[in-house]
Amino acid sequence: MGPSGVGKRTLIDLVLKDYGDIFARKKSCTTRPIRENNEKAQENFNFVSVDQFQRMVANKEFVESRERSAGCFYGTATAELERIKSSGQIPIIEVDVEGAVEINRQAVEGNFLFIYPPSFEELRRRIGNRIETEQEFKVRIREAIKQIELANNSVLFTNRLVNDTIEDAKDQLITLIKALYF
Protein backbone atom coordinates (compact mmCIF):
# COMPACT_ATOMS: atom_id res chain seq x y z
CA MET A 1 0.00 0.00 0.00
CA GLY A 2 1.01 3.58 -0.42
CA PRO A 3 -0.03 6.67 -2.30
CA SER A 4 0.39 7.23 -6.01
CA GLY A 5 4.02 7.85 -6.90
CA VAL A 6 5.80 5.80 -4.23
CA GLY A 7 6.79 2.98 -6.59
CA LYS A 8 4.39 0.24 -5.56
CA ARG A 9 4.03 -1.24 -9.05
CA THR A 10 7.78 -1.01 -9.74
CA LEU A 11 8.61 -2.80 -6.48
CA ILE A 12 5.99 -5.48 -7.15
CA ASP A 13 7.46 -6.03 -10.62
CA LEU A 14 10.94 -6.43 -9.10
CA VAL A 15 9.68 -8.93 -6.50
CA LEU A 16 7.84 -10.93 -9.16
CA LYS A 17 10.99 -11.01 -11.30
CA ASP A 18 12.87 -12.77 -8.49
CA TYR A 19 10.01 -14.59 -6.75
CA GLY A 20 7.35 -15.09 -9.43
CA ASP A 21 7.13 -18.77 -8.59
CA ILE A 22 6.01 -17.89 -5.04
CA PHE A 23 4.00 -14.69 -5.50
CA ALA A 24 1.46 -13.46 -8.06
CA ARG A 25 -0.05 -10.02 -8.57
CA LYS A 26 -3.81 -10.01 -8.26
CA LYS A 27 -5.84 -8.32 -10.95
CA SER A 28 -8.34 -5.73 -9.78
CA CYS A 29 -11.82 -5.45 -11.20
CA THR A 30 -12.57 -1.96 -12.42
CA THR A 31 -15.17 0.01 -14.32
CA ARG A 32 -12.72 2.69 -15.41
CA PRO A 33 -12.07 3.03 -19.12
CA ILE A 34 -8.99 1.41 -20.61
CA ARG A 35 -6.35 4.09 -21.06
CA GLU A 36 -4.90 4.46 -24.53
CA ASN A 37 -1.33 3.23 -25.07
CA ASN A 38 -1.41 1.17 -21.87
CA GLU A 39 -0.44 -2.32 -22.92
CA LYS A 40 -0.16 -3.46 -19.28
CA ALA A 41 -3.80 -2.62 -18.49
CA GLN A 42 -5.00 -6.15 -19.26
CA GLU A 43 -2.30 -7.58 -16.95
CA ASN A 44 -3.44 -5.47 -14.00
CA PHE A 45 -7.21 -5.16 -14.44
CA ASN A 46 -10.35 -7.06 -15.32
CA PHE A 47 -12.49 -4.40 -17.00
CA VAL A 48 -16.21 -4.77 -16.30
CA SER A 49 -19.32 -2.66 -16.76
CA VAL A 50 -20.81 -0.69 -13.88
CA ASP A 51 -23.83 -3.03 -13.95
CA GLN A 52 -21.62 -6.11 -13.75
CA PHE A 53 -19.58 -4.55 -10.92
CA GLN A 54 -22.74 -3.72 -8.96
CA ARG A 55 -24.02 -7.29 -9.42
CA MET A 56 -20.69 -8.57 -8.07
CA VAL A 57 -21.03 -6.27 -5.04
CA ALA A 58 -24.62 -7.45 -4.47
CA ASN A 59 -23.45 -11.07 -4.70
CA LYS A 60 -20.65 -10.37 -2.19
CA GLU A 61 -17.95 -11.40 -4.68
CA PHE A 62 -15.40 -8.85 -3.42
CA VAL A 63 -13.21 -8.85 -0.33
CA GLU A 64 -13.00 -5.08 -0.81
CA SER A 65 -14.45 -2.57 -3.25
CA ARG A 66 -15.11 1.12 -3.54
CA GLU A 67 -15.75 4.01 -5.87
CA ARG A 68 -12.48 5.93 -6.24
CA SER A 69 -13.84 8.63 -8.51
CA ALA A 70 -17.16 9.41 -10.16
CA GLY A 71 -18.31 6.18 -11.79
CA CYS A 72 -14.93 4.43 -11.47
CA PHE A 73 -15.19 1.45 -9.17
CA TYR A 74 -12.37 -0.84 -8.12
CA GLY A 75 -12.48 -4.13 -6.25
CA THR A 76 -10.58 -7.25 -5.25
CA ALA A 77 -12.58 -10.31 -6.22
CA THR A 78 -12.54 -13.30 -3.90
CA ALA A 79 -12.34 -15.55 -6.98
CA GLU A 80 -9.13 -13.83 -8.11
CA LEU A 81 -7.47 -14.49 -4.74
CA GLU A 82 -8.66 -18.09 -4.82
CA ARG A 83 -7.29 -18.50 -8.37
CA ILE A 84 -3.83 -17.42 -7.19
CA LYS A 85 -3.93 -19.52 -4.01
CA SER A 86 -5.09 -22.62 -5.92
CA SER A 87 -1.99 -22.32 -8.11
CA GLY A 88 0.12 -22.57 -4.94
CA GLN A 89 1.14 -18.91 -4.96
CA ILE A 90 0.71 -16.03 -2.53
CA PRO A 91 -1.30 -13.09 -3.87
CA ILE A 92 0.24 -9.62 -3.82
CA ILE A 93 -2.66 -7.22 -3.33
CA GLU A 94 -2.12 -3.58 -4.24
CA VAL A 95 -4.91 -1.49 -2.72
CA ASP A 96 -5.33 1.81 -0.89
CA VAL A 97 -5.50 2.08 2.89
CA GLU A 98 -9.28 1.79 2.97
CA GLY A 99 -9.03 -1.39 0.88
CA ALA A 100 -6.43 -2.85 3.24
CA VAL A 101 -8.65 -2.10 6.24
CA GLU A 102 -11.60 -3.80 4.52
CA ILE A 103 -9.48 -6.84 3.59
CA ASN A 104 -8.39 -7.10 7.21
CA ARG A 105 -11.99 -6.72 8.37
CA GLN A 106 -12.94 -9.64 6.08
CA ALA A 107 -10.34 -11.74 7.96
CA VAL A 108 -8.18 -12.32 4.89
CA GLU A 109 -4.79 -13.43 6.16
CA GLY A 110 -1.94 -11.24 5.06
CA ASN A 111 1.05 -9.07 5.79
CA PHE A 112 0.36 -5.39 5.28
CA LEU A 113 3.10 -3.10 4.02
CA PHE A 114 2.91 0.66 3.58
CA ILE A 115 5.41 2.36 1.27
CA TYR A 116 6.31 5.98 1.95
CA PRO A 117 7.89 8.56 -0.32
CA PRO A 118 11.24 9.95 0.90
CA SER A 119 9.74 13.44 1.21
CA PHE A 120 6.65 15.41 0.30
CA GLU A 121 8.67 17.35 -2.28
CA GLU A 122 9.78 14.14 -3.99
CA LEU A 123 6.22 12.82 -3.95
CA ARG A 124 5.02 16.02 -5.64
CA ARG A 125 7.74 15.61 -8.29
CA ARG A 126 6.88 11.96 -8.95
CA ILE A 127 3.15 12.62 -9.19
CA GLY A 128 3.78 15.67 -11.37
CA ASN A 129 5.71 13.48 -13.82
CA ARG A 130 2.76 11.08 -14.17
CA ILE A 131 -0.28 13.27 -14.67
CA GLU A 132 -1.59 15.50 -17.40
CA THR A 133 -3.74 18.16 -15.73
CA GLU A 134 -3.42 20.49 -12.75
CA GLN A 135 -6.78 19.22 -11.44
CA GLU A 136 -5.60 15.60 -11.54
CA PHE A 137 -2.38 16.65 -9.77
CA LYS A 138 -4.34 18.31 -6.95
CA VAL A 139 -6.60 15.28 -6.55
CA ARG A 140 -3.63 12.90 -6.39
CA ILE A 141 -1.78 15.06 -3.85
CA ARG A 142 -4.88 15.30 -1.63
CA GLU A 143 -5.38 11.54 -1.87
CA ALA A 144 -1.68 10.90 -1.10
CA ILE A 145 -1.84 13.05 2.04
CA LYS A 146 -5.01 11.24 3.12
CA GLN A 147 -3.42 7.80 2.53
CA ILE A 148 -0.28 8.70 4.51
CA GLU A 149 -2.32 10.12 7.40
CA LEU A 150 -4.55 7.02 7.50
CA ALA A 151 -1.53 4.71 7.46
CA ASN A 152 0.23 6.71 10.16
CA ASN A 153 -2.83 6.31 12.39
CA SER A 154 -3.31 2.60 11.72
CA VAL A 155 -1.85 -0.38 13.56
CA LEU A 156 -2.59 -2.53 10.51
CA PHE A 157 0.66 -1.64 8.75
CA THR A 158 3.21 -3.48 10.84
CA ASN A 159 5.62 -3.31 7.90
CA ARG A 160 6.70 0.04 6.47
CA LEU A 161 9.45 1.20 4.16
CA VAL A 162 10.59 4.43 2.52
CA ASN A 163 11.26 4.33 -1.22
CA ASP A 164 14.13 6.81 -1.44
CA THR A 165 15.88 4.89 -4.21
CA ILE A 166 14.40 1.90 -5.95
CA GLU A 167 17.52 -0.19 -5.23
CA ASP A 168 17.38 0.45 -1.47
CA ALA A 169 13.61 -0.05 -1.35
CA LYS A 170 13.94 -3.34 -3.24
CA ASP A 171 16.64 -4.52 -0.82
CA GLN A 172 14.44 -3.60 2.16
CA LEU A 173 11.45 -5.38 0.61
CA ILE A 174 13.42 -8.53 -0.19
CA THR A 175 14.75 -8.58 3.38
CA LEU A 176 11.18 -8.31 4.66
CA ILE A 177 9.95 -11.07 2.33
CA LYS A 178 12.74 -13.38 3.48
CA ALA A 179 11.90 -12.68 7.12
CA LEU A 180 8.19 -13.33 6.59
CA TYR A 181 8.17 -16.22 4.12
CA PHE A 182 11.48 -18.11 4.31
d(CA 120, CA 46): 32
| Contacts (Cβ under 8 Å, ≥6 apart) of 80 | 26, 27, 29, 46, 91
Catalytic residue, from 9, 140, 142, 160: name it.
140
**Is 130 a catalytic site residue?**
yes
Catalytic residue, from 9, 55, 105, 130: name it.
130
Which of 89, 113, 90, 91 minimizes the C-alpha distance to 100?
A: 113
The DSSP symbol for 118 reads S
How many residues make up the chain in this entry?
A: 182
**Is 66 a catalytic site residue?**
no
**Is 25 a catalytic site residue?**
no
Cβ atoms 86, 140 nearer than 8 A: no
Write out the catalytic residue numbers.
35, 130, 140
